């Protein structure tokens, strides 16, 4: 099906096999109320075409050398890293990640945790990172954190955000993720205990607006996604 010399136009001309669409229809569950068969087939066909493009790129023989990787990583910023201080297994602790990023010459990293503010760890991680960097004569990576507004911190909690403004390196507020409507419905297959950030018209609910107003002028990034609920209302995730 694929040849190394194929152009993007050639790849997009590849006809998607009908049997492949039917097999995927049995496996894929759409979180879109009232979707009909024609739309399902269109969306699946689009996704297959996307996969074809990715697969063809690998066949094209694109290679990266170690020096290419070093050049890409140097002065890079990782804006979404998870360390081992979450209450479940991670590959590395935050200080270990910071050591490796410093060795690679990265510019900055933002640590995200699920259930407690990652910003509360930054000062401690910086202490060990700075000591290690001085001993090894390496420029330490800049480290930042934030708070994720899941149920464990009170959900959409303006007071929790206000308290975090005092943490050094506090730069991010993440809207609910494991407790968001989308995660509860799609991943956990239920809609109990979820957090709603937007009303039926796509506007911020008062508790969301109150928290976000505190971030104006503080240089804090707010991260989240907007999804459609079963009722058609926008829901943050």
Give the model confidence (pLDDT) of 146-166 as tens digits.
999 998 998 888 888 889 999
**Assessment of whether the complete model's pTM goes beyond 0.85:** no
Cα separation, 225 vs 234, in Å, equals 10
Extents of the domains making up the chain: 8-59, 72-146, 149-156+167-237
Cα separation, 54 vs 48, in Å, equals 10
**What is the reported pLDDT for 102?**
98
Tens place of pLDDT for every residue, the chain, 237 residues?
Answer: 555 566 667 767 777 888 888 888 888 888 777 888 888 888 888 888 888 777 776 666 666 788 888 998 999 999 999 998 888 888 899 999 999 999 999 999 999 999 999 999 999 999 999 999 999 999 999 999 999 999 899 888 888 888 999 999 999 999 888 888 777 776 665 655 656 666 666 666 666 665 566 666 677 887 865 554 444 444 444
**What is the reported pLDDT for 234?**
42
CA separation (Å) from 152 to 84, 143, 171?
A: 18, 24, 20
CA dihedral 24, 29, 33, 39 (to 10 degrees): -10
Contact status, residue 113 vs residue 147, Cβ threshold 8 Å: no
CA dihedral 212, 215, 221, 225 (to 10 degrees): 0
**What is the reported pLDDT for 204?**
67
Task: Give the list of residues 6+ apart from residue 143 with CB closer than 8 angstroms, or none.
Answer: 94, 98, 108, 109, 110, 111, 122, 125, 126, 129, 169
CA separation (Å) from 54 to 12, 59, 85, 221?
A: 12, 9, 34, 31
Chain length of the chain: 237
**What is the reported pLDDT for 217?**
63
- 3-state helix, strand, coil split of the chain in percent (to 5) is 40, 15, 45
Give phi and psi for 92, each to the nearest 5: -145, 155
Q: Coil, strand, or helix at residue 85?
A: coil
Q: Coil, strand, or helix at residue 39?
A: helix
How many Cβ atoms are within 10 Å of 22's Cβ, its own excluded? 11
């Amino acid at each position: 099906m694929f040849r190394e010399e194929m152009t993007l136009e050639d790849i997009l001309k590849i006809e998607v096999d009908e049997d492949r669409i039917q097999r995927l229809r049995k496996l894929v569950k759409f979180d879109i109320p009232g979707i009909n068969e024609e739309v399902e087939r269109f969306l699946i066909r689009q996704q297959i075409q996307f996969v074809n493009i990715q697969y063809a790129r690998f066949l094209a023989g694109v290679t990266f050398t170690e020096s290419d990787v070093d050049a890409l990583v140097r002065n890079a910023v990782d804006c979404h890293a998870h360390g081992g201080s979450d209450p479940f297994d991670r590959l590395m602790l935050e200080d270990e990640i910071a050591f490796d990023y410093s060795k690679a010459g990265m510019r900055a990293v933002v640590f995200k945790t699920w259930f407690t503010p990652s910003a509360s760890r930054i000062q401690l991680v910086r202490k060990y990172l700075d000591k290690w960097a001085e001993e090894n004569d390496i420029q330490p990576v800049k480290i930042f954190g934030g708070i994720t507004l899941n149920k464990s911190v009170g959900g959409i909690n303006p007071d929790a955000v206000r308290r975090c403004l005092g943490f050094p390196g506090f730069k991010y507020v993440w809207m609910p993720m494991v407790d968001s409507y989308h995660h509860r419905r799609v991943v956990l297959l239920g809609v109990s205990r979820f957090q709603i950030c937007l009303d039926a018209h796509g506007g911020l609910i008062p508790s969301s607006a109150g928290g976000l107003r505190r971030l104006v002028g503080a240089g804090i990034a707010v991260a989240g996604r907007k999804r459609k609920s079963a009722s058609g209302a926008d829901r943050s995730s």
